[in-house]
Structure 1
Amino acid sequence: MQSLKIMLLSSAFNGLTQRAWLDLRQLGHAPSVVLFTDEASVCRQIEASAADLVICPFLKDRVPQQLWSNPERPVVIIHPGIVGDRGASALDWAITQQVRRWGVTALQAVEEMDAGPIWSTCEFDMPADVRKSELYNGLVSDAAISCIRDVVEKFARGFVPTPLDYTQPDVAGRLQPNMKQADRTFSWYDCARFIKRSIDAADGQPGVLASLAGGQYYLYDAHLDARRGTPGEILAVQDDAVLVAAGDHSLWLGSLKRKALPGEETFKLPARHVLAGQLADVPVLDGSLANQGFDEMAYQPIRYRETGHVGELTFEFYNGAMSTEQCQRLVAALRWAKARDTQVLLVRGGRGSFSNGVHLNVIQAAEVPGLEAWANIQAIDDVCRELLTARQLVVSGLTGSAGAGGVMLALAADIVFARAGVVLNPHYKTMGLYGSEYWTYSLPRAVGSEVAHKLVEECLPISALQARHWGMVQDIGPRCPRAFGLWLLQQASDALTDERYALHRARKSNMNLAQIERCRENELAQMRLDMVENRQQFAEKCRNFVFKRKTCQTPQRLQAPWALAPRATLVD
């Protein structure tokens, strides 16, 4: 197929847009990105380019008429719903209504939102008890990539999209209103599963507004529990979560956002932090590995089990953010696991992101954000040191995407495996940080100094395939999370004898601990300048991230050369 100039118009360079950008490049095309800032700027950038096709993987804004009315250059929307589904709350309604089948549809932008002719569709079976972010980053993202590939192939051969026709029996979707808080409301006397489904359907954004502990909060990150109590009562605290009684059983709530007063802005934080002043008489449960057995159904942000000579430690922190306290708990868990009589220590993520490094929301909420950031970076460094100094052969499993220090945390292991389709962002610069987590040791060790410099300076995402090519990842497993878990455990079990990893085993025995600690010291000296003294505007960038400030312009690193050149000078 001829290489196409494809413009990705998106509200943010989010996980799906990054996957689309990487996938199109892998297929030999030349994607460029335009972030939706304002209508005039977007139109000017796209009209001035020589784009063959515009695809919108994640667009909250309406496509300007100037763009969709051009018959020579279609604008294709990637909508997270089945054919005929319309509206901005597609996934919210699908989870709430417990549909059995769902999908993604690629449709051409027209005046009426989501009503354009169909380019492609891809359906899947809806899993039970899935939260919106997990669904979006998993099955929806996979279906979207399938649709995007199909659209590009069809465009290349002159395909004419099919008009949406509600009289056809296979068009099951319908126009759905935007879901409001009134549609999400529940009573604490409702059953726990119903409440959890309401929270799952609003996961990420906007959360479910409810009364709790005498205040109004948006709820996130719900987990079922069998304990009982007076509905609405907080029964216990464990790690960052609070346990709230429902009509039959109870739920753990991991994150909350206080309802803002007029003129005020609030943001998500660990539930225990938000309710700190109201938990004095609430029992605190011990979540340490030494005092709880492995239970996949229970609320266990850090859990451990052994299979033969492999100890498997899973950590699952909401949105991949790791606060100072979470890092300290993980350090304690790793020390406990390292003392076990095992030969391999497998460290893996859970359902969401593997890790994205320090917890920017907790940092922003601190009395002195710079000092909290400084404590946080030292705590996550301690996690990496536990991996680097383990007696066991350490294997990390990238179950989800990772960014910044989360990538470097994985690289602190001796062997790294990744789930197909994960995206890695091995850089810090866009947040105004030099970086730590022993990256100046682990990244060059994996890819060499030249590639390491390129990765941290270019600030671009890389695919699992690229990571394997460069040596950051040793192998890639199945995309299905459950299948990947089984595959990962088998790979970890075989790693002691597999000849493919002989070099990694030998490298471990020749590790220079003094050199490793010098790397940490040098990194932290730079990070102190960034975090405490704000050398590169980390404070402002952190604030903009936490409060979700819209970007002013598309970064040049995301724009292909053809999209930057004046139209008159472009040649095919």
Structure 2
Amino acid sequence: MHILLAASAFNSLTQRVHAELRERGHSVAVELALPGTRLADAVARHRPDLVLAPMLKTAIPPEVFTAHTCLVVHPGPVGDRGPSSLDWAVGDGATRWAVTVLQAEAEMDAGDVWASVECPLPPVAKSDAYRGEIADAALAAVVLAVDRFASGTYTPRPQYTGRARPPMRQEHRRIDWQRDTTDTVVRTLRAADSRPGVLDELLGGRWYLHGGHPEDGLRGRPGELLATRTGAVCRATADGAVWIPELRAVRVPGQPAPVKRPATLALGGLRPGDAHGPQLGDPH
């Protein structure tokens, strides 16, 4: 069977799907959804038996999904809908999750279900879970869905109900250092790692915080910087403290996009009590 993978990037999951389907004897092509490209043109050029989207950040257009069977890998259980599914799961502290392969249609993530595989969701950063348990479940769900499609006898299950959650934006990720517990802060940081980070104020400047690990012993006034270690900074919460390993500056209009840096290196000579930090533009 000839399968076209439509993806926003040839990321680790797309690579695993590509390799696994080829190992199973399928002919597999890849098209990246880059600015200025049209998926309809790629489909017309490849003439696939099946279109599969392992990681696609844009919607499949109606002229494609009405003419071809298009399957989308959604990192959430049946009925879960929205582009920030895994962010919400990690932020809410879910211990089990799932990956669903569903058919593309006009309503996002509401199409018929071809396969769904459950998995544990350990207390780790979103990116770690995505590359680990979520990727394993996604691969299993893709293989099952492709086999079912190839059989020509399977009828996908319709979704009669669903819960659509909004994109998780910075207002949903905001940390209240005076009130939030260590557990809440760590889950918030993990849900934003590795992107987009959590926008926050630190030593008078605005930074995106990346990564988060609980501290066992140190305590202090909530929001206060307590210590540094191997590039990370320790910041007090309402009931304890967390280690923040990396910071990323807010982008200044007209300047290159900043990169993540070890927290102590990003802060440079700034110390607790400094009157002001670097001058930063509006967050992008």
TM-score calculated relative to the size of structure 2: 0.90
Provide the rounded CA distance (Å) in 2 between the counterparts of 1:153 and 1:255. Answer: 43
Larger radius of gyration: 1
2:203·2:271 contact (CA, 8 Å) conserved in 1?
Answer: no
| Displacement after TM superposition at 1:230 (Å) | 2.1
Residues 122-178 of structure 1 show CA distances to partners (whole Å, capped at 9, x for unaligned) of: 112332x22111111111101100111011111111123221112xxxxxx511111
Asked whether the equivalents of residues 39 and 60 of structure 2 are also in contact (C-alpha less than 8 Å), the reply is: no
* Offset, 1:32: 1.1
Other-structure match for 2:279? none
- 1:261 maps to which residue? 252
C-alpha displacement of 1:39: 6.4
Q: 2:77 touches 2:116 (CA, 8 Å); kept in 1?
A: yes
Q: Percent of pairs identical after alignment?
A: 40
**Structure 1 match to 2:22:** 25
Q: 2:222 aligns with which of 231, 234, 243?
A: 231
CA pair 200-280 structure 1, distance change in 2 beyond 3 A: closer
Match of 1:179 among 159, 168, 171: 168
Q: Is it true that 1:55 corresponds to 2:52 in the alignment?
A: yes
- Counterparts of 1:189-208 in structure 2, within 5 Å, are 189=178, 190-208=180-198
The residue type equivalent to 1:223 in the other structure is H
Q: Deviations over 1:443-463 (max 9, x none)?
A: xxxxxxxxxxxxxxxxxxxxx
1:231 is matched by which residue type in structure 2? P
- Aligned with 2:100: secondary structure? strand
Letter in 2 for 1:176: R
Structure 1 residue aligned with 2:276: none
Instruction: Give the aligned partner of residue 280 of structure 2.
Output: none
Cα gap change, 1:117 to 1:39, in 2 (>3 Å): farther
Structure 1 stretches of 5 or more lacking a match? 167-172, 282-572
C-alpha distance in structure 2 between counterparts of 1:218 and 1:77, whole Å: 31
Task: Tell me the residue number matched to 1:443.
Answer: none
Q: Provide the C-alpha distance between the structure 2 equivalents of 1:204 and 1:65, rounded to a whole number of angstroms.
A: 32
Equivalent of residue 201 in structure 2, options 184, 190, 211: 211
Identify the structure with the greater strand proportion.
Answer: 2
Measured against aligned partners, the alpha-carbon deviations of 1:476-530 in whole angstroms (never above 9, x if no partner) come to xxxxxxxxxxxxxxxxxxxxxxxxxxxxxxxxxxxxxxxxxxxxxxxxxxxxxxx
2:63 match: secondary structure: helix
Q: CA deviation at 1:40?
A: 4.8
Alignment match, 1:251: 242
1:78 to 73, 82, 86: 73
> 1:213 touches 1:233 (CA, 8 Å); kept in 2?
no
- Return the letter of the residue paired with 1:135: A
Q: Is the 8 A contact 1:39 1:64 kept in 2?
A: no
Change (3 A) 1:39 1:262: closer
Superposed counterparts of 1:118-133, under 5 Å: 118-127=113-122, 129-133=123-127
Instruction: Give the conservation status (yes or no) of the 8 Å contact 2:90–2:187.
Output: yes
Which 10-residue stretch deviates more, 60-69 or 256-265? 256-265
Which of these residues, 253, 259, 265, is aligned with residue 273 of structure 1? 265
Q: Offset at 1:33?
A: 0.6
Secondary structure of the structure 2 residue equivalent to 1:121:
strand
Find out whether 1:87 has 2:82 as its counterpart: yes
- C-alpha RMSD of the superposition: 1.8
Alignment deviations for residues 80-133 of structure 1 (CA, whole Å, 9 cap, x no partner):
000011100101111122234310000111111111111110112332x22111
Cα distance change, pair 210–280 in 1 and its aligned pair in 2 (3 A): closer
User: What's the TM-score once normalised by structure 1's chain length?
Assistant: 0.46
1:156 to 143, 147, 150: 150
Q: Is the 8 A contact 1:220 1:255 kept in 2?
A: yes
User: How far 1:201 sits from its partner (Å)?
Assistant: 0.8
Match of 2:109 among 106, 114, 125: 114
Distance in 1, Cα, partners of 2:94 & 2:170: 20
Amino acid at match of 1:274: A
Structure 2: segments with no counterpart, 5+ residues? 274-284
2:129 counterpart residue number:
135
Q: Which residue is equivalent to 1:511?
A: none
Compute the displacement of 1:242 (Å): 1.2
Deviations along 1:2-24, one digit per CA (max 9) or x if unpaired, are xx111110000001001101111
User: Which letter maps to 1:266?
Assistant: P
**Separation in structure 2 between the aligned mates of residue 120 and residue 251 of structure 1, nearest angstrom:** 39
